Protein backbone atom coordinates (compact mmCIF):
# COMPACT_ATOMS: atom_id res chain seq x y z
CA UNK A 1 0.00 0.00 0.00
CA UNK A 2 2.91 2.33 -0.77
CA UNK A 3 2.88 4.51 -3.89
CA UNK A 4 5.97 4.39 -6.08
CA UNK A 5 5.80 8.18 -6.36
CA UNK A 6 3.44 10.98 -5.45
CA UNK A 7 3.43 14.14 -7.57
CA UNK A 8 1.11 17.14 -7.37
CA UNK A 9 0.70 20.40 -9.30
CA UNK A 10 0.25 23.56 -7.22
CA UNK A 11 -0.47 26.80 -9.11
CA UNK A 12 -1.61 28.59 -5.93
CA UNK A 13 0.82 28.25 -3.05
CA UNK A 14 2.47 29.87 -0.03
CA UNK A 15 6.17 30.70 0.19
CA UNK A 16 8.10 32.15 3.14
CA UNK A 17 8.86 35.85 3.02
CA UNK A 18 12.45 37.04 2.82
CA UNK A 19 12.36 37.09 6.60
CA UNK A 20 10.71 33.73 7.31
CA UNK A 21 9.85 34.68 10.88
CA UNK A 22 7.60 37.50 9.66
CA UNK A 23 5.15 35.64 7.47
CA UNK A 24 4.23 34.02 4.18
CA UNK A 25 3.42 35.21 0.67
CA UNK A 26 0.49 33.84 -1.35
CA UNK A 27 1.54 33.27 -4.96
CA UNK A 28 -0.33 32.25 -8.08
CA UNK A 29 1.03 30.98 -11.37
CA UNK A 30 -0.94 31.19 -14.63
CA UNK A 31 0.34 28.42 -16.89
CA UNK A 32 0.64 28.75 -20.65
CA UNK A 33 -2.27 26.35 -21.08
CA UNK A 34 -4.42 28.50 -18.83
CA UNK A 35 -3.55 31.59 -20.85
CA UNK A 36 -4.26 29.94 -24.20
CA UNK A 37 -7.67 28.82 -23.00
CA UNK A 38 -8.61 32.37 -21.92
CA UNK A 39 -9.12 31.38 -18.31
CA UNK A 40 -11.81 33.39 -16.57
CA UNK A 41 -9.71 35.76 -14.44
CA UNK A 42 -12.77 36.81 -12.49
CA UNK A 43 -13.26 33.20 -11.40
CA UNK A 44 -9.57 33.01 -10.50
CA UNK A 45 -9.94 36.13 -8.34
CA UNK A 46 -12.85 34.53 -6.51
CA UNK A 47 -10.72 31.48 -5.78
CA UNK A 48 -7.91 33.68 -4.46
CA UNK A 49 -10.31 35.61 -2.24
CA UNK A 50 -11.77 32.37 -0.90
CA UNK A 51 -8.32 30.99 -0.17
CA UNK A 52 -7.26 34.23 1.50
CA UNK A 53 -10.33 34.06 3.75
CA UNK A 54 -9.47 30.48 4.66
CA UNK A 55 -5.88 31.44 5.49
CA UNK A 56 -7.10 34.31 7.67
CA UNK A 57 -9.29 31.83 9.53
CA UNK A 58 -6.38 29.42 9.87
CA UNK A 59 -4.17 32.20 11.21
CA UNK A 60 -6.82 32.94 13.82
CA UNK A 61 -6.99 29.26 14.82
CA UNK A 62 -3.23 29.17 15.25
CA UNK A 63 -3.20 32.26 17.43
CA UNK A 64 -2.31 32.00 21.10
CA UNK A 65 -5.86 32.87 22.12
CA UNK A 66 -7.32 29.96 20.16
CA UNK A 67 -4.67 27.42 21.16
CA UNK A 68 -5.21 28.28 24.83
CA UNK A 69 -8.72 26.89 24.67
CA UNK A 70 -9.22 23.69 26.73
CA UNK A 71 -9.30 21.25 23.79
CA UNK A 72 -5.80 22.34 22.74
CA UNK A 73 -4.14 22.57 26.15
CA UNK A 74 -3.42 18.93 26.94
CA UNK A 75 -1.22 18.02 23.99
CA UNK A 76 0.80 15.69 26.21
CA UNK A 77 -1.99 13.11 25.96
CA UNK A 78 -0.86 12.07 22.48
CA UNK A 79 -0.42 8.32 22.61
CA UNK A 80 3.25 7.26 23.00
CA UNK A 81 4.56 5.47 19.94
CA UNK A 82 7.05 2.75 20.85
CA UNK A 83 9.12 1.36 17.98
CA UNK A 84 11.09 -1.86 18.44
CA UNK A 85 14.11 -3.03 16.43
CA UNK A 86 13.42 -5.78 13.91
CA UNK A 87 17.02 -6.99 14.23
CA UNK A 88 18.78 -8.08 17.41
CA UNK A 89 22.43 -7.22 17.86
CA UNK A 90 23.22 -10.76 16.65
CA UNK A 91 21.12 -10.26 13.51
CA UNK A 92 23.04 -7.09 12.75
CA UNK A 93 26.36 -8.88 13.39
CA UNK A 94 25.46 -11.61 10.90
CA UNK A 95 24.45 -9.09 8.22
CA UNK A 96 27.61 -7.08 8.93
CA UNK A 97 29.77 -10.19 8.46
CA UNK A 98 28.12 -10.97 5.13
CA UNK A 99 28.67 -7.37 4.07
CA UNK A 100 32.36 -7.75 4.91
CA UNK A 101 32.50 -10.91 2.81
CA UNK A 102 31.27 -8.98 -0.23
CA UNK A 103 33.71 -6.16 0.42
CA UNK A 104 36.65 -8.56 0.79
CA UNK A 105 35.63 -10.28 -2.46
CA UNK A 106 35.77 -6.94 -4.27
CA UNK A 107 32.07 -6.63 -5.10
CA UNK A 108 31.96 -3.11 -3.63
CA UNK A 109 34.09 -0.51 -1.86
CA UNK A 110 31.26 0.56 0.44
CA UNK A 111 27.79 -0.82 1.28
CA UNK A 112 25.15 0.99 3.32
CA UNK A 113 23.67 -1.53 5.77
CA UNK A 114 20.34 -0.48 7.30
CA UNK A 115 18.15 -1.83 10.09
CA UNK A 116 14.52 -1.08 10.89
CA UNK A 117 12.38 -0.20 13.92
CA UNK A 118 8.64 -0.94 13.77
CA UNK A 119 5.46 -0.26 15.73
CA UNK A 120 1.80 0.64 15.33
CA UNK A 121 -0.33 3.74 15.60
CA UNK A 122 -3.37 2.95 17.72
CA UNK A 123 -6.82 4.31 16.88
CA UNK A 124 -9.44 4.88 19.54
CA UNK A 125 -12.61 6.20 17.96
CA UNK A 126 -14.01 7.89 21.04
CA UNK A 127 -10.87 9.72 22.17
CA UNK A 128 -10.11 12.95 20.30
CA UNK A 129 -6.54 12.99 21.62
CA UNK A 130 -5.70 9.58 20.15
CA UNK A 131 -2.81 9.66 17.70
CA UNK A 132 -4.35 8.82 14.36
CA UNK A 133 -1.60 10.34 12.32
CA UNK A 134 2.16 10.82 12.20
CA UNK A 135 1.58 14.56 11.98
CA UNK A 136 0.56 14.49 15.66
CA UNK A 137 4.25 13.91 16.46
CA UNK A 138 5.62 16.52 14.05
CA UNK A 139 5.86 19.50 16.48
CA UNK A 140 7.78 17.53 19.13
CA UNK A 141 10.08 15.92 16.58
CA UNK A 142 10.89 19.20 14.89
CA UNK A 143 11.53 20.94 18.20
CA UNK A 144 14.03 18.20 19.04
CA UNK A 145 15.78 17.87 15.68
CA UNK A 146 15.48 21.28 13.95
CA UNK A 147 16.07 19.23 10.79
CA UNK A 148 16.91 21.56 7.87
CA UNK A 149 15.23 19.35 5.26
CA UNK A 150 12.19 18.16 7.19
CA UNK A 151 8.90 17.45 5.44
CA UNK A 152 5.53 15.76 5.68
CA UNK A 153 3.29 14.20 3.04
CA UNK A 154 0.00 12.31 3.20
CA UNK A 155 -1.26 10.37 0.19
CA UNK A 156 -4.96 9.58 -0.31
CA UNK A 157 -5.72 11.45 2.88
CA UNK A 158 -8.70 13.51 3.97
CA UNK A 159 -9.36 17.08 2.86
CA UNK A 160 -6.27 18.30 4.68
CA UNK A 161 -8.22 20.34 7.24
CA UNK A 162 -6.24 18.96 10.14
CA UNK A 163 -7.31 21.56 12.71
CA UNK A 164 -10.95 20.59 12.21
CA UNK A 165 -10.23 16.85 12.40
CA UNK A 166 -13.03 15.16 14.29
CA UNK A 167 -12.91 12.23 16.66
CA UNK A 168 -14.36 10.05 13.90
CA UNK A 169 -11.32 10.67 11.69
CA UNK A 170 -10.76 7.53 9.64
CA UNK A 171 -7.14 6.41 9.74
CA UNK A 172 -7.60 4.26 6.64
CA UNK A 173 -8.52 7.34 4.58
CA UNK A 174 -5.05 8.70 5.42
CA UNK A 175 -3.38 5.42 4.71
CA UNK A 176 0.14 6.48 3.65
CA UNK A 177 2.23 9.09 5.43
CA UNK A 178 5.85 10.19 5.52
CA UNK A 179 7.26 12.39 8.28
CA UNK A 180 10.85 13.24 7.53
CA UNK A 181 13.37 14.84 9.90
CA UNK A 182 16.12 14.66 7.33
CA UNK A 183 19.42 16.50 7.78
CA UNK A 184 20.60 15.65 4.26
CA UNK A 185 20.21 17.62 1.04
CA UNK A 186 19.89 15.56 -2.12
CA UNK A 187 19.63 18.33 -4.73
CA UNK A 188 19.09 22.07 -4.88
CA UNK A 189 18.32 23.32 -8.39
CA UNK A 190 18.67 27.02 -9.23
CA UNK A 191 17.93 28.91 -12.44
CA UNK A 192 19.48 32.15 -13.66
CA UNK A 193 16.73 34.45 -14.87
CA UNK A 194 18.85 36.25 -17.49
CA UNK A 195 20.45 33.17 -19.09
CA UNK A 196 18.00 30.39 -18.19
CA UNK A 197 20.92 28.20 -17.04
CA UNK A 198 20.21 25.57 -14.39
CA UNK A 199 22.76 24.81 -11.68
CA UNK A 200 22.73 21.97 -9.18
CA UNK A 201 24.13 21.47 -5.68
CA UNK A 202 24.25 18.28 -3.62
CA UNK A 203 25.59 17.75 -0.08
CA UNK A 204 26.13 14.06 0.71
CA UNK A 205 26.56 13.03 4.35
CA UNK A 206 29.10 10.34 5.18
CA UNK A 207 30.71 10.28 8.60
CA UNK A 208 28.96 10.49 11.99
CA UNK A 209 29.82 11.07 15.64
CA UNK A 210 27.42 11.60 18.55
CA UNK A 211 27.06 14.91 20.37
CA UNK A 212 28.82 15.10 23.71
CA UNK A 213 27.26 15.52 27.13
CA UNK A 214 29.59 18.42 27.96
CA UNK A 215 31.08 21.11 25.70
CA UNK A 216 34.51 19.57 26.12
CA UNK A 217 33.32 16.09 25.18
CA UNK A 218 31.31 17.51 22.26
CA UNK A 219 34.37 19.26 20.84
CA UNK A 220 36.43 16.11 21.33
CA UNK A 221 33.91 14.02 19.37
CA UNK A 222 33.80 16.65 16.66
CA UNK A 223 37.58 16.66 16.33
CA UNK A 224 37.63 12.86 16.21
CA UNK A 225 35.34 13.06 13.18
CA UNK A 226 37.57 15.68 11.55
CA UNK A 227 40.62 13.44 12.07
CA UNK A 228 38.96 10.13 11.11
CA UNK A 229 40.73 8.66 8.09
CA UNK A 230 38.01 6.02 7.82
CA UNK A 231 35.20 8.59 7.59
CA UNK A 232 37.14 10.76 5.16
CA UNK A 233 37.71 7.71 2.96
CA UNK A 234 33.99 6.83 3.03
CA UNK A 235 33.06 10.43 2.28
CA UNK A 236 35.35 10.77 -0.71
CA UNK A 237 34.03 7.49 -2.15
CA UNK A 238 30.52 8.97 -2.20
CA UNK A 239 31.78 12.31 -3.52
CA UNK A 240 33.38 10.50 -6.46
CA UNK A 241 30.17 8.53 -7.03
CA UNK A 242 28.05 11.71 -7.12
CA UNK A 243 30.56 13.51 -9.33
CA UNK A 244 30.14 10.63 -11.74
CA UNK A 245 26.32 10.76 -11.46
CA UNK A 246 26.24 14.50 -12.14
CA UNK A 247 28.74 14.16 -14.97
CA UNK A 248 26.04 12.50 -17.06
CA UNK A 249 23.92 15.66 -16.96
CA UNK A 250 26.44 18.49 -16.49
CA UNK A 251 28.31 20.62 -18.98
CA UNK A 252 31.87 19.43 -19.39
CA UNK A 253 34.20 20.98 -16.85
CA UNK A 254 31.48 22.37 -14.56
CA UNK A 255 31.41 19.63 -11.89
CA UNK A 256 33.16 21.09 -8.84
CA UNK A 257 33.72 20.17 -5.18
CA UNK A 258 33.81 23.56 -3.41
CA UNK A 259 33.75 22.03 0.07
CA UNK A 260 35.15 18.69 1.21
CA UNK A 261 34.86 17.09 4.66
CA UNK A 262 32.99 19.95 6.35
CA UNK A 263 31.51 19.21 9.78
CA UNK A 264 27.86 20.11 10.39
CA UNK A 265 26.38 19.69 13.86
CA UNK A 266 22.79 18.68 14.58
CA UNK A 267 20.86 18.10 17.79
CA UNK A 268 22.07 14.53 18.26
CA UNK A 269 25.08 14.00 15.97
CA UNK A 270 27.95 15.63 14.10
CA UNK A 271 28.06 14.79 10.37
CA UNK A 272 30.83 15.02 7.78
CA UNK A 273 29.35 16.75 4.73
CA UNK A 274 30.81 17.59 1.33
CA UNK A 275 29.38 19.87 -1.37
CA UNK A 276 29.31 19.18 -5.12
CA UNK A 277 28.07 21.65 -7.74
CA UNK A 278 27.55 21.61 -11.50
CA UNK A 279 25.89 23.45 -14.36
CA UNK A 280 23.34 21.36 -16.26
CA UNK A 281 23.42 20.88 -20.02
CA UNK A 282 20.95 23.11 -21.84
CA UNK A 283 18.84 20.15 -23.00
CA UNK A 284 18.66 18.53 -19.53
CA UNK A 285 15.67 19.17 -17.29
CA UNK A 286 16.19 18.99 -13.50
CA UNK A 287 13.51 16.28 -13.22
CA UNK A 288 15.62 14.02 -15.45
CA UNK A 289 18.57 14.53 -13.11
CA UNK A 290 16.41 13.87 -10.04
CA UNK A 291 14.89 10.60 -11.22
CA UNK A 292 18.06 9.48 -12.98
CA UNK A 293 20.12 9.85 -9.79
CA UNK A 294 17.88 7.93 -7.38
CA UNK A 295 18.64 6.32 -5.02
CA UNK A 296 21.20 8.69 -3.50
CA UNK A 297 24.75 7.36 -3.39
CA UNK A 298 25.24 8.21 0.29
CA UNK A 299 22.68 5.60 1.35
CA UNK A 300 23.51 2.84 -1.15
CA UNK A 301 27.25 2.44 -1.71
CA UNK A 302 29.82 2.15 -4.46
CA UNK A 303 29.49 0.90 -7.12
CA UNK A 304 25.82 1.78 -6.71
CA UNK A 305 24.23 -0.97 -8.81
CA UNK A 306 26.03 -3.84 -7.08
CA UNK A 307 25.57 -2.23 -3.67
CA UNK A 308 21.80 -2.07 -4.19
CA UNK A 309 21.74 -5.75 -5.18
CA UNK A 310 23.61 -6.74 -2.01
CA UNK A 311 21.39 -4.53 0.16
CA UNK A 312 18.29 -6.23 -1.26
CA UNK A 313 19.78 -9.60 -0.32
CA UNK A 314 20.97 -8.76 3.20
CA UNK A 315 18.19 -6.55 4.56
CA UNK A 316 15.18 -8.56 5.67
CA UNK A 317 12.48 -6.30 4.18
CA UNK A 318 12.27 -3.57 1.51
CA UNK A 319 13.21 -0.07 2.59
CA UNK A 320 9.94 1.52 1.51
CA UNK A 321 10.24 5.26 0.94
CA UNK A 322 13.34 5.39 3.14
CA UNK A 323 16.30 6.70 1.13
CA UNK A 324 13.99 8.09 -1.53
CA UNK A 325 13.40 11.84 -1.77
CA UNK A 326 10.85 14.51 -0.86
CA UNK A 327 10.83 18.04 -2.17
CA UNK A 328 9.38 20.59 -4.55
CA UNK A 329 10.08 21.93 -8.03
CA UNK A 330 9.01 25.33 -9.28
CA UNK A 331 7.69 25.94 -12.78
CA UNK A 332 11.10 27.23 -13.88
CA UNK A 333 12.86 24.02 -12.78
CA UNK A 334 14.32 25.41 -9.56
CA UNK A 335 13.62 23.49 -6.38
CA UNK A 336 15.00 21.47 -3.50
CA UNK A 337 14.91 17.77 -2.57
CA UNK A 338 16.06 15.91 0.53
CA UNK A 339 17.27 12.38 1.15
CA UNK A 340 14.60 10.50 3.11
CA UNK A 341 16.66 9.50 6.13
CA UNK A 342 15.49 9.92 9.76
CA UNK A 343 12.06 9.35 8.24
CA UNK A 344 8.91 7.72 9.62
CA UNK A 345 6.56 5.87 7.28
CA UNK A 346 3.00 4.87 8.18
CA UNK A 347 0.88 2.43 6.17
CA UNK A 348 -2.59 1.09 6.82
CA UNK A 349 -2.35 -2.67 7.22
CA UNK A 350 -5.47 -3.16 5.12
CA UNK A 351 -8.51 -1.37 3.72
CA UNK A 352 -10.70 -2.97 6.36
CA UNK A 353 -12.43 -0.30 8.46
CA UNK A 354 -12.36 -2.72 11.39
CA UNK A 355 -8.59 -2.58 11.44
CA UNK A 356 -7.53 -0.43 14.40
CA UNK A 357 -3.81 -0.14 13.72
CA UNK A 358 -1.46 1.30 11.15
CA UNK A 359 2.10 0.06 10.74
CA UNK A 360 4.94 2.53 11.37
CA UNK A 361 8.57 2.06 10.34
CA UNK A 362 11.79 3.96 10.98
CA UNK A 363 15.20 3.08 9.53
CA UNK A 364 18.84 3.86 10.25
CA UNK A 365 22.05 2.63 8.69
CA UNK A 366 25.61 3.46 7.84
CA UNK A 367 28.26 2.92 5.21
CA UNK A 368 30.31 -0.24 5.76
CA UNK A 369 33.87 -0.55 4.45
CA UNK A 370 36.63 -3.06 5.13
CA UNK A 371 37.84 -0.73 7.91
CA UNK A 372 34.47 -0.71 9.72
CA UNK A 373 33.94 -2.07 13.23
CA UNK A 374 30.65 -3.86 13.87
CA UNK A 375 30.04 -2.46 17.36
CA UNK A 376 30.78 1.09 16.23
CA UNK A 377 28.50 0.80 13.20
CA UNK A 378 25.67 -0.64 15.31
CA UNK A 379 26.04 2.22 17.80
CA UNK A 380 26.03 4.74 14.96
CA UNK A 381 22.55 3.55 13.96
CA UNK A 382 21.35 4.16 17.52
CA UNK A 383 23.00 7.59 17.60
CA UNK A 384 21.17 8.60 14.43
CA UNK A 385 17.62 7.73 15.53
CA UNK A 386 17.85 7.44 19.32
CA UNK A 387 16.44 10.94 19.82
CA UNK A 388 13.52 10.21 17.46
CA UNK A 389 12.70 6.98 19.30
CA UNK A 390 12.75 8.80 22.63
CA UNK A 391 10.51 11.64 21.44
CA UNK A 392 7.99 9.19 19.99
CA UNK A 393 7.94 7.16 23.20
CA UNK A 394 7.72 10.44 25.19
CA UNK A 395 10.87 9.67 27.15
CA UNK A 396 12.24 13.18 26.55
Q: Residue 380: what are its φ and ψ, rounded to 5°?
A: -60, -40
- Asked if 208 contacts 383 with a C-beta cutoff of 8 angstroms, the reply is yes
Which among 118, 99, 119 has a CA at the least distance from the CA of 110?
99
Report the Cα–Cα distance between both ends of the chain, in Å, rounded. Answer: 32
Q: What is the DSSP letter of 107?
A: S
**What DSSP letter does each residue of 121-176 carry, written as one string?**
EE--TT-TTS--SGGGGHHHHHHHH--TEEEEEEES-S-S-GGG--TT--GGGG-E
d(CA 103, CA 96): 11
Q: HSE-up of 372 (CA within 13 Å, CB side)?
A: 30
Catalytic: 203? Answer: no
Catalytic: 206? Answer: yes
Partners of 136 in the β-ladder: none
Within the chain, residue ranges assigned H as helices are 32-36, 41-61, 64-67, 70-73, 89-105, 138-145, 215-227, 229-247, 286-293, 304-314, 374-392
- Please tell me which residue in 177, 184, 234, 380 is annotated as part of the active site: 184
- Please tell me which residue in 116, 203, 206, 304 is annotated as part of the active site: 206
Q: Residue 273: what are its φ and ψ, rounded to 5°?
A: -130, 135
Bond prior to 303 in cis (omega within 30° of 0):
yes
Cβ neighbourhood burial of 63 (10 Å; 0-12, 13-18, 19+):
exposed
**Residues carrying an active site annotation:** 184, 206
Amino acid sequence: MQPCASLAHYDIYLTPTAHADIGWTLKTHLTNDDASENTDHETNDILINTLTSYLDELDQKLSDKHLNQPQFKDVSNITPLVLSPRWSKLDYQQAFNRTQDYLQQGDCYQINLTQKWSGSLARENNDVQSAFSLIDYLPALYRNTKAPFAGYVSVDGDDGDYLNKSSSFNADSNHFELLSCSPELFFTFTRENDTGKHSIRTKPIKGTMPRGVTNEQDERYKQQLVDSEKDRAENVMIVDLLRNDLGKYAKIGTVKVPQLFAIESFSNVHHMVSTITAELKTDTHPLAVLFGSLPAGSITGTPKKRAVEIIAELESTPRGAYCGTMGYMNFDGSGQWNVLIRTLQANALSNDDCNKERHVNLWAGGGITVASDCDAEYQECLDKVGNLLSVLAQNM
